[in-house]
Amino acid sequence: MARRRTIFRMLAIQRVLVRFGLDDIIKETHLWRPLRFLFYLAPRRRDGSAPLGERIRLALEELGPIFVKFGQAISTRRDLLPPDIADELAKLQDAVPPFPAEQAIGIVEAAYGESVGTVFERFDDEPLAAASIAQVHTAKLKAGIEVIVKVLRPGVEEQIERDLAVLRMLAGLAERYWEHGKRLKPLEVVEEYEHTILDELDLMREAANTAQLKRNFEGSDMLYVPEVYWDYCRPEVLVQERIYGTPIGDMDTLREAGTNIQLLAENGVEIFFTQVFRHNFFHADMHPGNIFVIHTDPERPKYAAVDFGIVGTLSPEDQRYLAENFLAFFDRDYRRIAKLHLDSGWVPPGTRIDRLESAVRTVCDPIFSKPLAEIPFAQVLVRLFRVAQRFDVEIQPQMILLHKTLFNIEGLGRQLYPQLDLWKTAHPVLKRWMDEQLGGRAMLRDVRDNLPQLRDALRELPAILHHLGEQAAEGRIRFNVQSPELEDIRRQLGEQRRQRYWLTASATSVVGGALVVTLGSLPWLGWTLLGAGALAAWVARP
Residue closest to 269 by CA, chosen among 425, 81, 442, 35:
425
Q: How far is CA 373 from CA 330, 386, 421, in A?
A: 18, 23, 10
| Enzyme catalytic residues | 285
* Mean pLDDT for back-to-back runs of 10 residues, the chain (542 residues): 67 74 58 51 58 83 78 68 80 81 96 95 94 92 96 89 78 70 70 80 95 95 96 96 92 93 90 89 85 94 92 85 83 87 81 89 82 69 71 71 76 80 77 72 58 62 68 63 56 62 55 54 53 54 55
**What is the C-alpha to C-alpha distance for residues 360 and 338, in angstroms, rounded to an integer?**
8
Model pLDDT, residue 202? 93
Instruction: Please give the Cα distance from 289 to 129 (Å, whole number).
Output: 9
pLDDT at 197: 80
What gap in Å lies between CA 165 and CA 162, rounded to an integer? 5
The model carries a pTM of 0.70
| SS3 category, 138 | strand
H helix runs in 91-202, sequence order = 101-112, 116-119, 156-177, 181-184, 186-199
Q: What pLDDT is stored for residue 296 in this prediction?
A: 92
SS3 content of the chain, % helix, strand, coil (to 5): 65, 10, 30
Q: Which of 58, 75, 235 is nearest to 156 (CA)?
A: 235
CA 392 to CA 414: how far, in whole Å? Answer: 31
